[in-house]
Copies of this chain bind each other. A is one copy, B any other.
Amino acid sequence: MVTMSDVAKAAGVSRATASYALRGDPRIVPQTAAKVREAARALHYTANLSARSLRSGRNGVIGLAIFELDRAYPSEMGAAISREANRHGLQTIVQETSNSKEGEIAILQKVTSQLCDGMIFSPGNVNDEELRQLSGGKPMVLLDDISPDPVFDTVNTPCEAGSQAAIDHLIEIGCKNILAVGAHYESLTEDLQSTSVSARRLYGCLKSFDEHDIEVEPENFLHVLWNPEEARDLAHRVAKSGRRYDGVFCMTDTIAMGFIRGLADCGISVPKDMAVVGFDGINETEYFIPSITTVSTDLSDLASKAVNLLLRRIEEDGEISEPQRLTADFKLVKRSSTERSDLRITL
């Protein structure tokens, strides 16, 4: 392994000078700097990040912790963040928490807070106070944090506005009896700011119903775990229940896909018999049959907001500003799953 001493020796300067030169410190005269750079290149020198990190606390790497690597939304988000960080000259390391408290603690405490300049984190099972401890003082940006009293910068997904747009769309295309899948009607009791993602999406639904003067009952909302298996089962139960819905808003695309699959199992066709809207905008929605109308979270925007917040914290020296809370953009992408043939005929 070639070290900076090797480079310094080859260039005929001291280690200190080599260090300054390689990092472009203006104190070093151009000739010396060029000599050092040349030596580094010739020797294929690469700085040792552990050493740099140990000494200066910085190494140009940021950490991202997501629930699960193998689910579409978090992994697409990870890709977006990774690419955005690259644009700023940073490397991103991704880890999965497996949505368990031990996982989150292990990652933050053992890895991310030690090996990275800062981290972006989807908290699931640790609260802000624990996070503060686990962060080891390193900058952190949270994704969809639900603390009433935020300690860290946060970027939220556009839950309220997005869900509202979804229901608006179903109403627009003529749906008269809409079902929202993903949250209990009862979950909406708490303070909205500090509440869960599902409750915030539910809130958006209610807002839309309200603005359209549509009365809803608890039966218009069904809770389900956010995975396709459960959604599929739920669709079976809905199909057998006899209750007739003509439009469904699923709080995630994965739910939507499972739900549509479940409807298909029971001979109910989307969009002919029922229109379906998803949320997230994962790539698969375009290739699913039918392609799925979805509230597409703008992941580039989310990534850019998160990385910029993090960089601000990493670069700020001492003076700590108020934690910020931003929301990512979205757009409603209309596809087959809400194309109503009856509507098309009237056009």
**Chain A residues in the interface with B (C-beta under 8 A):** 1, 44, 46, 48-51, 53-54, 60-61, 63, 68-70, 72, 75-76, 78-80, 82-83, 86, 91-96, 98, 106-107, 109-111, 114-115, 133, 136-137, 228, 232, 257-258, 260-261, 264, 283-284, 286-289, 291
- Cβ–Cβ < 8 Å partners of A79 in chain B: 68-70, 96
State how many angstroms separate the Cβ of A302 from the closest Cβ of chain B: 13
The answer to whether A50 and B289 touch across the interface, beta carbons within 8 angstroms, is no
Q: CB-nearest residue of chain B relative to A57?
A: B50
**Residues of chain B lying within 8 A (CB to CB) of residue A50:** 49-51, 53-54, 114-115
Cross-chain contact B92 with A92 (CB below 8 angstroms): no
Q: For residue A287, which residues in chain B have a CB less than 8 angstroms away from its CB? A: 228, 232, 257-258, 261
List residues of chain B with CB within 8 A of the CB of A92.
Answer: 95
Complex Cα–Cα for A127 and B48 (A): 23
Chain B residues whose CB sits within 8 angstroms of the CB of A82 once the complex forms? 69, 95-96
Which of B75, B111, B260, B283 is close to A289, meaning CB atoms less than 8 Å apart? Answer: B260
Closest partner residue, chain B, to A46 (CB atom) = B109
Q: Are A137 and B1 in contact (CB under 8 A)?
A: yes
User: A261 contacts which chain B residues (CB < 8 A)?
Assistant: 287-289, 291
